[in-house]
Chain A
């Protein structure tokens, strides 16, 4: 069966520091991968999605970037964090345009 991992689970970072969040999927090949952000009391906002290695689509102009160095690895990065980057970050995978399955999330607090 398929499993999705995210780390770290929680992160506290100062403003202006870099960021790297990692997501990996096991048990499937060539998945579509997604990064979402969930702000307190709000729904999910799609940040990036990827349909293959090196293929990244950005949904929202922002301080973040994403990369997909391997088939089942998806990384969310920032060179300099802003206070507004705080939130709960969720990675998800799907096969083609079928159901999306979510990871456990990373709670990011920028101080």
Chain B
């Protein structure tokens, strides 16, 4: 069965520092992979997605993610965090050709000034 694990519930970084949020998935074939961001009380906004091709994916707001099949990972990175990046981040996996996404439980990011 598909599953998604985000090992870090909370992460705190200083403004200007680099960021890496971890995501591990379990799926038998090549999955569709997504990162979403959610500000408090808001809906989810798509940051980036991976379907196939280049394993390094660029997204909005300066984020990128790398698909590593051997590690079943799709970690999200940003070289320099801004205070406005404070939010909750969700990784999701979708099986190609189905309607179901499985979401991780999220990582809450706090940014220190």
**A104 is an interface residue with CB less than 8 A from chain B:** yes
Extra 18 A-B pairs, beta carbons < 8 Å, given A41-B105, A103-B43: A32-B99, A43-B104, A43-B105, A44-B90, A44-B101, A44-B103, A46-B101, A51-B99, A90-B43, A97-B97, A97-B99, A99-B34, A100-B101, A101-B46, A102-B43, A102-B45, A104-B42, A105-B42
Binding site for A on B (CB under 8 A): 32, 34, 36, 41-46, 49, 90, 94, 96-101, 103-106
Query: Within the assembled complex, what's the spacing in Å between the Cα atoms of A49 and B94?
Result: 14
Find the B residue at minimum CB distance from A88. Answer: B41
Pair B46/A99 contact, Cβ less than 8 Å: yes
Set of chain B residues within 8 Å of A6, measured between Cβ atoms: 43
Question: Which secondary structure characterizes the binding site on chain A?
Answer: strand
In this complex, the member of B32, B43, B45, B49 whose beta carbon has the largest number of chain A beta carbons within 10 angstroms is: B43
Pair B44/A102 contact, Cβ less than 8 Å: yes
Find the B residue at minimum CB distance from A46. Answer: B100
Query: Within the assembled complex, what's the spacing in Å between the Cα atoms of A107 and B41?
Result: 8
Pair B105/A99 contact, Cβ less than 8 Å: no
Set of chain B residues within 8 Å of A97, measured between Cβ atoms: 32, 94, 96-99
Query: Within the assembled complex, what's the spacing in Å between the Cα atoms of A49 and B101?
Result: 11
Contact with B along A86-98 (1 / 0, CB 8 A): 0000101010010
In this complex, the member of B45, B96, B100 whose beta carbon has the largest number of chain A beta carbons within 10 angstroms is: B100
Set of chain A residues within 8 Å of B49, measured between Cβ atoms: 99
* 9 A-B contact pairs sorted by A residue (CB < 8 Å): A43-B103, A43-B104, A43-B106, A44-B103, A94-B99, A97-B96, A102-B36, A102-B43, A103-B43
Set of chain B residues within 8 Å of A103, measured between Cβ atoms: 43
Return the contact of B43 from the options A41, A43, A51, A105 (Cβ within 8 A): A105
